[in-house]
Amino acid sequence: MALRFALIGCGAIGTALLELVKDDAGLIAAAIVVPAGSEADAHTVAARVAHGAQVLSAVPADGIDLVVEAAGHTAIEQHVLPALQRGVPAIVASVGALSAPGLPEQLEAAAREGGTQVQLIAGAIGAIDALAAARVGGLETVRYTGRKPPRAWKGTPAEEGRDLDALGAETVIFEGTARDAACLFPKNANVAATVSLAGLGLDRTTVRLIADPAVTENVHEVEAAGAFGRFELTMRNQPLAANPKTSALTVYSAVRALRGRVAPLAI
């Protein structure tokens, strides 16, 4: 039997995800959950790549096997927690939402209540498996640097006191903990939260965010050291045309997680 999923959010990630899985026999996009006022756009997407998907303002109470969140931090409390409580598992892209004090515990409690599980995807970053495994042996330091073109920082605190269009050289726009990065840059620092949750935690992971006019990609670097040894990772991700803040790899990561739910052999 095919897995019926509800997609929360139908922006850059959601639309690209639906396009990629539209011919997957094992997956049915049963519902698209969007905020009031966004229904018309979601209907247009559904007509193109998700025939039969209902466009709704909440996850339906019945007939959904999995929710896939690709909306933003507010969607976790609004849609993911209630779904988990009802026993519906969830795949979450907005990992930075877990920087809100108490939310990780609420997610765990909701999943326990529903006898189910919430999966945080790796999204735009790699080596989360290695980092989480390294944690078992003990980690000493984890540093994350996120570097994006200036236009990717529009609409964020990076604009305070500077004209992003006029930047002539790389500029550090944030230096601090992963928790503060994820709170201050909810659409740009989910990776900081993911790296920290897999590794040393939100308060002990050092983060730098950089606006760099010399790059066209979203560049993510992780340096980790501990009992396992050390690694340095650099990802040079292509941004999505529909949203320069978001890397295409985030979509592929969500699709991988979704397909992994039905594949007889998952890697």
Ligand X SMILES: O=C([O-])CC(=O)C(=O)O
Ligand Y SMILES: NC(=O)C1=CN([C@@H]2O[C@H](COP(=O)(O)OP(=O)(O)OC[C@H]3O[C@@H](n4cnc5c(N)ncnc54)[C@H](O)[C@@H]3O)[C@@H](O)[C@H]2O)C=CC1
CB of 202 to ligand X, least distance (A): 14
189: partner contacted, choices ligand X, ligand Y, none (Cβ within 5-8 A by kind): ligand X
| Residue whose CB is less far from ligand X, 135 or 220 | 220
CB of 227 to ligand Y, least distance (A): 27
CB of 244 to ligand X, least distance (A): 9
- Can you state the angle between helices 12-21 and 39-49, rounded to 10 degrees? 20
Q: Which residue do the tokens 């699709």 mark?
A: 255
CB of 115 to ligand X, least distance (A): 30
Q: Which of 46, 107, 189, 254 binds ligand X (CB under 6 A)?
A: 189
All residues at 6 or more sequence positions from 105 whose CB lies less than 8 Å from its CB, including other chains: none
All residues at 6 or more sequence positions from 163 whose CB lies less than 8 Å from its CB, including other chains: none
Cα(97)–Cα(90) distance, integer angstroms: 14
177 scored as a contact of ligand X (CB under 6 A): no
Q: Which of 237, 244, 254, 255 binds ligand X (CB under 6 A)?
A: 237
- Which of 43, 51, 79, 220 is the catalytic position? 220
| Residues engaged in binding ligand Y (CB under 6 A) | 8-14, 33-35, 38, 70-75, 78-79, 93-96, 123-124, 186-187, 190-191, 194, 243, 246, 250
59 scored as a contact of ligand X (CB under 6 A): no
- Can you state the angle between helices 190-198 and 128-137, rounded to 10 degrees? 30
Please identify, among the stretches 2-10, 28-36, 128-136, 245-253, the one whose residues bind ligand X according to the rule CB under 6 A.
245-253
| Residue whose CB is less far from ligand X, 28 or 253 | 253
73 scored as a contact of ligand X (CB under 6 A): no
> How many chain residues interact with ligand X (CB under 6 A)?
12
Has 243 been labeled as part of a binding site? no
CB of 27 to ligand X, least distance (A): 23
Applying the rule CB under 6 A, the residues between 212 and 231 that interact with ligand X are 218
Closest by Cα among 195, 192, 181 to 128: 195
Q: Assign 97 to helix, strand or coil.
A: helix
**Known catalytic residue at 220:** yes
Cα(116)–Cα(252) distance, integer angstroms: 24
Helix (H) or strand (E) holding 237: strand 229-237
**Cβ atoms of residues 252 and 130 within 8 Å:** no
29: partner contacted, choices ligand X, ligand Y, none (Cβ within 5-8 A by kind): none
Cα(152)–Cα(34) distance, integer angstroms: 23
Report angle CA 35, 70, 40 to the nearest 5 degrees.
35
Report angle CA 75, 55, 109 to the nearest 5 degrees.
30
The residues annotated with a catalytic role in the active site are 220
Residue numbers in the known binding site for NAD(+) are 124, 190
Residue numbers in the known binding site are 124, 190
